[in-house]
A and B are shown apart, each in its own frame.
Chain A
Amino acid sequence: MIDDFGYARTRRTLSSTAKLLSVLNLDGPLLVGLGLLALYGLAILYSASGQSLDTVLRTLVRIALGTAAMLALTHASPNLLRRLSPWIYVIGIALLLVVELTGVIGKGAQRWLNLGIVRFQPSEVMKLAVPMLAAWYLHDRPLPPDWRAMLMLAVIIFLPAGLVAMQPDLGTAALIAASGALLALMAGLSLRIVIVLVLLAVGGAFAGWHFLHDYQRERVLTFLNPQTDPLGAGYHIIQSQIALGSGGLFGKGWMHGSQAQLQFLPERSTDFIFAVVGEEFGLIGLILLLALYLFIVARALWLAMQTNDTYSRLLGLCIALTFFVYVFINAGMVSGLLPVVGVPLPLVSYGGTSVVTLLAGFGILMGLYSHRKLVGS
């Protein structure tokens, strides 16, 4: 029967695909989610870059690099990763110091390390290195961590975060700190301590006002009231809200967003690409995008929960949640919920090392999952 034959073939294909994924230590659903997101992202990027095929090709190269890193890292066992964690962290700190000393000036801040062919941001590495070291440190210790462990975690987190903040790259510093903090939370940090820390952070923010650079203060101030400087610092926020608002429910259509196409929207293909989605595909397009992100985060959390050693779980949960934090900070910034900080929209924004680090992170996560010890009952 033809039907039976087709069914059998489909089943064979599925099972052979599953076998291939299993050999490669990959997770099917997560891979599909990431793939769909990358495709959606490329379509948007083509429009947002003003139909620049060049931009799309460069991004494809980065995705290929990230995929390679992901495929490689899935084969690293949790034990190997754990043992390497301190070294990665030390190397990362060393690179940060090098940047601090000899860094190339990029956009008025020292963030890049020129490796001849590629320019490379050591701070990106710290986004993974910090939770890795923190997980390594907590792996042998009882949870929830006691106050000594907490102190150690604070050092692990704030040493690189401080260095990055000095570059000065407040956005990345905050993200590094956030990934460490998320790990501590997942490790069972007492909620009372969390509340105290939040209060301290608010107090510190007021105190830290003095240490902010002028442009950073300006960003905060214009976030609070964008209309005060419509052509200056408030321009980004106003234009991105116009783009979103004018997009409406269904959007103006692919490559028909006037805010983006006529360049009223600044940084349209990088930090503000979320607004391009909103303008051209409307609320529907944004909800679709958010649903993809939510699916990836949920799947990543599920994978992390399936692992059964402390290091894997902490690192896995941290990778999943950090990914969400990026999405939320970028979307919140573009829609005017949060101040303008230079955080790209994961896997969609053009440029930077973030595509590679993000995919590498998911590679690690899938590796942790596939190397889990199947604990018998």
Chain B
Amino acid sequence: MVDSRVRIKDHWNEQRIFSQRTLGALVVVAVLVLVLIGRLVFLQVMRHDYYTELSQGNRVRLDPIPASRGLIFDRNGKVMADNEPAYQLELVREQVPDLNDTLNRLTALGLIDRDEVEDTRRIILSRRTFDSVPVRLRLTDEEIGAFAVHRYQFPGVDLATRQTRHYPLGQLAVHALGYVSAISVQDLEHIDRVTYAGTTLIGKLGVESAYERPLHGKNGYREILVNAQGRSVQREGAFAAELHSQAPIAGDDLVLSIDVATQQAAEDALGDHRGAVVAIDPANGDVLALVSKPGFDPAAFARGLSRSEYAALSDDIDKPLFNRALRGTYPSGSTIKPVIALAGLTYHVVDPSRQEFCAGVFHLPGSSRLFREGKGGKHGWVDLEHAIARSCDVYFYGLAATIGAEHIADFMAPFGYGALTGIDISGEKPGLLPSPEWKRKAFKRPEDQIWFPGETVNFGVGQGYLLVTPLQLAHVASVLAERGKSFQPRLVTGVRDIEGHLKAIAPVQLPAIDNVSDAAWDLVLRGMMGATTYGTAAAISKGASYLIAGKTGTAQVFSVGQNEKYVEKNVAERLRDHAWFIAFAPADAPRIAIAVLVENGGFGASAAAPIARRVMDAYLLHQSTAPAANVAVPESQASD
């Protein structure tokens, strides 16, 4: 029928092919749809949670809310550091009709520096159009006023506030408080970036740095809805319900041991001198005043210093950034004598009633070297008490030589010489307590490792290798005041959380000096009282209603040849001796121990002692004038 070579259409066959193929196509379609649905079930049912989380992360950003930094109060509740709003000018590009015109008009108003217009414009253009870009930081009150008047002419430009640190007392106690400044690259290495998200300022020195953790508080956050470009979108209803926020928890307040009135008196008394004053309550180690001069303005750091401003501070020959109270190390001078006297009495190598003759020069047996009376002159016959009161070098040259360097160092160490006092802010220097053993370790060349007898002699009057900080000497004064009882100096006495619970920090008692007899204490303290009544510092007791025990000191900046005489007026100001004075009062029931250092001040009696008097007066006589209403929650009420 059908020719096999000439194919013709076979409709029945075609019908069969179509039917089969259509059926096959339907099967394939069904299989593909099932594959698709399988895939959708996998995505939408099995991995639903995973993708929900991704979608949540897509649209929600955390906007940190910085916690406000804890406040700092003095012992009487006077505010030493708080927060205040700082105003800055911010611009949102997409809301500004004409950017160049706006910038020009802001410049005309003096709100943008003419030199900075180009930079500002570049910064604005580099950011997203909906970002609020700061165009001018730290506006003054006048500038805020100037802008407020013209505000309606500047759509898209507005004032923004942020919290900044404020020190209501200015430079007062800056070396104790420290300061805050912008978080630096170095800071980022040791802080938790999550904790600090949104925080702009961090404590840099002093209490602000040491107590950074409680002061900082806990930042909160606000979830904000953003679209794919990162623009915050406000949509009522649709997504708002899923957004959470967490309020920040403000940092804890600190209560310092500082007494602002005493601190102020100390700063005033030191005046324009370079130097340091540290006053301590000997009964518990509370630092009542901590002064290092010159100081600097901590507000400038919180605001942000320009490079040249910082250079001016750090290159200043008077080193205002240098904390002399903690980090300045000086020879102790004659302030060492009460301790040497105690050592002599404790080692029983001195008869306190025996008088030595001071002819102004000491001859060390077996040595040709002469050791001169520091101030020149001679004291004639002096016993131990008078040697302290009148600061007789010759007496102590001999006493030191008798005790021996090793014994002196052993006796002095418990007073805190050559070691950190452990004050609760960082940066403290240990100074140096020399001894023959120290010398063997410290020097490389064998000839340098030998301790010479002459070095022991100098040790007796606080010259030579011995180095102390003003803080250490204040601590020594407080140990003397308490007859051997010793407390670690501290600046912070309590931490108050935002609910007002004050957590008192207990004083830290250090091992007491218990090898000294009462008689020895009596004798030496009598010598120190003698110094302020008939001795070297007799002038400072004039008109005082309380008894003062003190000791002057003079630390040599450069050595005077053994046959020369130190004549103050011939020496350039910065080469003059440093003046020391340590004291405590009232001598019969001590409430304040103090060390004063006046760099290049000359003699301790004239330069340093009057300063100490003014500080003690402020603390002992005017203490009751502190406003009672401001008094912090008394420590006795502290619950935990």
Chain A interface residues toward B at CB < 8 A: 140-144, 146, 185-188, 239, 241-249, 255-256, 258-259, 261-264, 278, 282-283, 286-287, 290, 294, 297-298, 301, 304-305, 310, 313, 317, 321, 324, 328, 331-332, 335-337
Query: Which residue among A242, A261, A337 has the maximum number of chain B CB atoms within 10 Å of its CB?
Result: A242
**Contact yes or no, A258 B36, CB < 8 A:** no
**B17–A294 contact, CB under 8 A?**
no
Chain B residue with the shortest CB-CB distance to A314: B18
The residue on B at minimum CB distance from A258 is: B59
Q: Is the CB of A282 within 8 A of B44?
A: yes
Query: Given contacts A242-B58, A262-B225, are A332 and B36 in contact (CB under 8 A)?
Result: yes
Binds A, one of B46-54, B105-113, B300-308, B586-594: B46-54
Q: Which residue of A lies closest to B39 (CB)?
A: A335
CA distance A247 to B39 in the complex (A): 14
Residue B37 at the chain A interface, CB threshold 8 Å: yes
Q: What are 6 residue pairs bridging A and B, where the CB atoms are less than 8 Å apart in the complex?
A: A141-B9, A142-B7, A245-B51, A287-B40, A298-B26, A317-B18
Q: How far is the CB of A277 from chain B (nearest CB, A)?
A: 10
**Contact residue among B9, B25, B37 (Cβ-Cβ distance under 8 Å from A186):** B25
Sample of 19 more A-B contacts, CB < 8 Å, known A143-B13, A186-B22, A264-B58: A142-B8, A143-B9, A143-B17, A146-B7, A185-B21, A242-B54, A242-B55, A244-B43, A245-B54, A258-B55, A258-B58, A258-B59, A262-B58, A264-B227, A290-B33, A317-B25, A335-B36, A335-B39, A335-B40
Partner of A249 from the list B18, B45, B225 (CB cut-off 8 Å) is B45
Interchain residue pairs A-B with the least CB separation, the first 5: A245-B51, A246-B55, A188-B17, A262-B227, A142-B7
Give the dominant DSSP class at B's interface: helix
Given the contacts A243-B55, A248-B45, A249-B45, A261 and B238 also touching, CB distance less than 8 Å: yes
Q: How far is the CB of B15 from chain A (nearest CB, A)?
A: 8
Q: Interface size class for chain B? A: 35 or more
CA–CA, A256 and B239, complex, Å: 8
Q: Does B228 contact A (CB under 8 A)?
A: yes
Contact of B48 among A243, A245, A328 (CB under 8 A): A245
Q: Which of B9, B54, B55, B58 has the most CB of A within 10 A?
A: B55
Query: In this complex, what residue of A is CB-closest to B238?
Result: A256
Residue of B nearest to A235 (CB): B228
Beyond A258-B239, A261-B238, A305-B18, is A246–B29 a contact (Cβ under 8 Å)? Answer: no
Chain B residue numbers with a CB within 8 Å of A321 are 25, 29
Residues of A within 8 A of B10 (CB): 142
Q: Is the CB of B59 within 8 A of A245?
A: no
CB < 8 Å: which of A241, A259, A328 contacts B32?
Answer: A328
Pair B43/A241 contact, Cβ less than 8 Å: yes
Known: A142-B9, A255-B238, A258-B239. A278 touches B40 (CB 8 A): yes
Residues of chain B touching chain A, judged by Cβ–Cβ distance below 8 Å, are 7-10, 13-14, 17-19, 21-22, 25-26, 29, 32-33, 35-37, 39-41, 43-45, 47-48, 50-52, 54-56, 58-59, 225-229, 233, 235, 238-239
Q: How close is B624's CB to chain A, nearest CB, in angstroms?
A: 66
Main secondary structure of the interface of A (DSSP, over half): helix
Say whether A305 contacts B19, CB under 8 Å: yes
Q: Give Cα distance in the complex from A258 to B488, angstroms.
A: 60
Cβ contact of B229, chosen from A239, A263, A317, A335, cutoff 8 A:
A263
Please, how many angstroms separate the alpha-carbon atoms of A186 and B33 in the complex? 20
Which of A144, A185, A262 touches B59 (beta carbons < 8 Å)? A262
- Residue of chain A at shortest CB distance from B226: A262
Asked if A249 and B33 sit within 8 Å, CB to CB, the answer is no
Task: Give the complex CA separation of A264 and B51 in angstroms.
Answer: 13
Given the complex, which residues of A lie within 8 Å of B26, measured CB to CB? 298, 301
Q: Is the CB of A305 within 8 A of B44?
A: no
Q: Which of chain A's residues have a CB closer than 8 A to the CB of B35? A: 337
- A143 partner residues in chain B, CB cutoff 8 A: 9, 13-14, 17
Shortest C-beta distance, B57 to chain A (Å), equals: 9
Given the complex, which residues of B lie within 8 Å of A246, measured CB to CB?
48, 51-52, 54-56
Chain A residues within an 8 Å CB radius of B21: 185-186, 188, 317
Q: Which residues of A have CB within 8 Å of B228?
A: 262-264
Contacting residues, chain A, for B55 (C-beta < 8 A): 242-243, 245-246, 258-259, 264
Partner of A310, one of B8, B14, B22: B14
Is A337 touching B14 in the complex (CB atoms < 8 A)?
Answer: no
Of chain B, the residue at the smallest CB distance from A189 is B21
* Choice from A256, A283, A336 contacting B44 with Cβ under 8 Å: A283
CB distance from B461 to the nearest CB of A (A): 75
Q: Which of B13, B25, B47, B226 has most chain A Cβ within 10 Å?
A: B25
Complex Cα distance, B227 from A264, in Å, reads 7
Contact B59–A248 (Cβ < 8 Å): no
Is B22 touching A317 in the complex (CB atoms < 8 A)? yes
Q: Which residues of A contact B44 (CB under 8 A)?
A: 244-245, 247-249, 278, 282-283, 286
Tell me, in angstroms, the Cα distance from A247 to B17 when the chains sit together. 43
Partner of A244, one of B7, B40, B227: B40
Give the CA-CA distance A328 to B56 in the complex, in Å. 29
CA gap between A300 and B29 in the complex, in Å: 13
The CA-CA distance from A241 to B19 in the complex, in Å, is 38
Report chain B residues within 8 Å CB of A187.
17
Task: Kindly state the separation between the CA atoms of A141 and B14 in the bound complex, as whole angstroms.
Answer: 11
Give the residue name and chain of the A residue nearest to B233 (CB): A262
Using A186-B21, A248-B45, A313-B18 as known contacts, say yes or no to A290 and B36 having CB atoms under 8 A apart: yes
Bound Cα distance A294, B36 (Å): 12
| B9 engages A244 (CB within 8 Å) | no
Instruction: State whether B22 touches A305 (Cβ < 8 A).
Output: yes
A40 to B36, CA, bound (A): 20
When C-beta atoms are compared, the residue in chain B nearest to A248 turns out to be B48
* Residues in B neighbouring A282, C-beta threshold 8 A: 44
Smallest beta-carbon distance A260→chain B, Å: 10
- How close is B29's CB to chain A, nearest CB, in angstroms? 5
Q: Which of B37, B47, B225, B227 contacts A290 (CB 8 A)?
A: B37
Q: Which residues of A contact B14 (CB under 8 A)?
A: 143, 188, 310
**Smallest beta-carbon distance B368→chain A, Å:** 85
Contacts A283-B41, A324-B29, A337-B35 given: A241-B227 contact, CB under 8 Å? Answer: no
A328-B34 Cα distance, complex, nearest whole Å: 11
Q: Is B45 a contact of A283 with CB atoms below 8 Å?
A: yes
The distance in angstroms between the C-alpha atoms of A290 and B36, with both chains bound, is 9
- List A contacts of B58 (CB < 8 A): 239, 242, 258-259, 262, 264
With A246-B54, A258-B59, A305-B18 in contact, do A336 and B39 touch (Cβ < 8 Å)?
Answer: yes
* Alpha-carbon separation in the docked complex, A310 to B235 (Å): 58
Which A residues lie within 8 Å of B226 (CB)? 262
**When the two chains form the complex, which single residue of B13, B40, B56, B233 contacts A286, counting CB atoms closer than 8 Å?**
B40
Chain A residues closer than 8 Å to B40, beta-carbon distance? 244, 278, 283, 286-287, 335
**Residues on the B chain within 8 Å of A305, using CB:** 18-19, 22
Residues of A within 8 A of B18 (CB): 186, 305, 313, 317
Residues of B within 8 A of A337 (CB): 35-36, 39
Contacting residues, chain A, for B238 (C-beta < 8 A): 255-256, 261
User: Which residues of chain A come closer than 8 Å to B229, judged between CB atoms?
Assistant: 263
The chain A residue sitting closest to B13, CB to CB, is A143
A301 and B19 alpha carbons, distance in the complex (Å): 10
Complex contacts, A248 vs chain B, CB 8 Å? 44-45, 48, 52
Bound-complex Cα distance A297 to B32 (A): 13
A266→B413 CA distance, assembly (Å): 75
- Bound-state CA distance A239–B44 (Å) is 14
Question: Given the known A-B contacts A143-B13, A283-B45, A305-B18, are A241 and B51 also in contact in the complex, defined by CB atoms under 8 Å?
Answer: yes
Residues of chain B within 8 A of A264, CB atoms compared = 55, 58-59, 227-228
CA distance A144 to B16 in the complex (A): 11
Among the interface residues B21, B33, B44, B238, which one has the most CB atoms of the partner chain A within 10 A?
A: B44
Considering the chains assembled together, what is the distance between the CA atoms of A290 and B30 in angstroms? Answer: 11
- The residue that A287 contacts in the complex, of B37, B52, B54, B59, with Cβ under 8 A, is B37
**Closest CB-CB distance, A10 to chain B, in whole Å?**
33
Point out the residue from A144, A278, A297 that lies within 8 Å of B29, measured CB to CB: A297
Q: Which among B43, B50, B56, B225 is the interface contact of A335 at CB below 8 angstroms?
A: B43
